Amino acid sequence: MNSYQNLSMSEQKAEYGAVRARFEAFKSRGLKLNIARGVPSKEQLDLSQRVLTDLTAPEDYFADGVDTRSYGLSDGLPCAKAFFAELASAPAENVIVGGNSSLNMMYDAVMRTMLFGIGGCEPLVKQGRLKWICVVPGYDRHFAICEQMGIEMVTVPMLADGPDMDAVEELVRDPQVKGIWCTPKYSNPDGTTYSDAVVRRMAGLKPAARDFRVYWDNAYCIHDVYGEGDRLAPIYPLAVEQGNPDLVLQFMSTSKISFPGAGVACLIAGPNDARDIRRLLAVQTICPDKTNQLRHVRYFRNAAFLKEHMKKHAEIVRPKFDAVLNALDAGLGGQDYVRWSRPKGGYFICLWVMPGTARRVVELAAEGGVTLTDAGATWPLHRDPDDSVIRIAPTRPEVAEIAAAAELLCVAVRLAALEKLMGQ
């Protein structure tokens, strides 16, 4: 193992000089790259262009006995419900199909629970102190919802096969704990996929609060990049089997399948929650954009077709993941103060740098022309207690750009580590 900690002061100084020189050389290249957010590349967006162009004649827009261009069906088009139901192994009658954003549906789900309650319970706003379980590292926008609504966030560590379920089971004994955010497949940012055992335990939770729900954000449900990818057990059948049909609220969208700005999202609830949500939704909207729902179903057809389509995405994304991983292997391999994830899919690679240096690494990378996700973003309230997690989102730029960005990142990681050790 090669470790900066084992170097003498003078060796550290010499190494610092060499790494600083490499950093300055990068700076002079005038890079201007952004690997901060999980956004598909133009090439990926182009894969689905026909979604927007295949349906042209007025009669193309008739489906399920309705003219999708008109009002009606506030919870979505039946064929779109069936489409998502197949993906989730859940009944179509539990599916509510909405607009383009699953995050929007998550926000609404929490907001509805705040205002109207869920499962016949008091609205959360009337219940005083509220807590939410946040698996860390996690998705910043989940945490932002809790932050905006004044919900206290309690962290649980992500282990190799999913959240620490001993900790989750302990926490849900507290009736003030009302939810948990989960990204069960290729979790954002570390790429972990929950094992069958973790999914089963999650589906079998016995929370003290009747209005506790598992918020199952399956944003990367079929986003395999390497081979067959990871397998995720469908949670709905496991929840039903363990007497918890209404425990889980699932979310999915086609944001990273077709278009983040013009896709289709859905919420899949248990039978009682779905009924209650439908009732509230009917007041909120007369209908979502059913024409877009239909365009998507006509183009993507079913899970089998979708799987083939996602292979085309994988062809584009894989060289980008490879570029990052190769650069990390070459630039940081053997350095024992740093490690990184090797996910089989999703949108992110996660890097754990020397504790106390993540902010500095992000700052140095920015100085060198590479924008990274803010350090701390993967923790509630932007507070990474170890200041060590960095999220890399390599999908949008060209392969050569990503390779250059990752190479600079490695130099920044080394420089920040040396600065820390030398007390600078």
Ligand X SMILES: Cc1ncc(COP(=O)(O)O)c(C=O)c1O
Rounded CA-CA distance 321/189 in Å is 14
Residue of 83, 139, 212, 379 interacting with ligand X (CB under 6 A): 139
Residue of 44, 94, 183, 250 interacting with ligand X (CB under 6 A): 183
Min dist. Cβ of residue 217 to ligand X (A): 5
Query: For residue 109, what are the CA distances in angstroms to 96, 206, 358, 405?
Result: 12, 21, 33, 38
Q: Is 260 in the site for ligand X (CB under 6 A)?
A: yes
Name which of 118, 181, 124 is nearest 149 in CA terms.
124
Cβ proximity of 142 and 217 under 8 Å: yes
Q: Is 255 in the site for ligand X (CB under 6 A)?
A: yes
Residue of 68, 193, 195, 253 interacting with ligand X (CB under 6 A): 253
For residues 32-91, which are near ligand X according to CB under 6 A? 38
Question: Smaller CB distance to ligand X: residue 38 or 345?
Answer: 38
Min dist. Cβ of residue 139 to ligand X (A): 4
The label of the residue with tokens 């926008």 reads 141
Identify any residues that bridge with 267 across adjacent strands, giving them in sequence order: 96, 251
Cβ proximity of 338 and 349 under 8 Å: no
Tell me how many residues contact ligand X (CB under 6 A). 13
Binding segment (CB under 6 A) for ligand X, from list 62-70, 79-87, 200-208, 252-260? 252-260
Q: Is 192 in the site for ligand X (CB under 6 A)?
A: no
Question: Smaller CB distance to ligand X: residue 68 or 101?
Answer: 101
Q: How many CA atoms lie within 13 A of 264 on its CB side?
A: 27
Structure tokens at 181: 């955010």
Residue of 205, 265, 274, 294 interacting with ligand X (CB under 6 A): 265
Question: Smaller CB distance to ligand X: residue 4 or 347?
Answer: 347
Q: Is 218 in the site for ligand X (CB under 6 A)?
A: no
Query: For residue 55, what are the CA distances in angstroms to 39, 50, 52, 67?
Result: 26, 9, 7, 13
Q: How many CA atoms lie within 13 A of 378 on its CB side?
A: 34
Q: Is 377 in the site for ligand X (CB under 6 A)?
A: no
Min dist. Cβ of residue 181 to ligand X (A): 9
Residues of this chain that bind ligand X (CB under 6 A) = 38, 101-103, 139, 183, 188, 217, 219, 253, 255, 260, 265
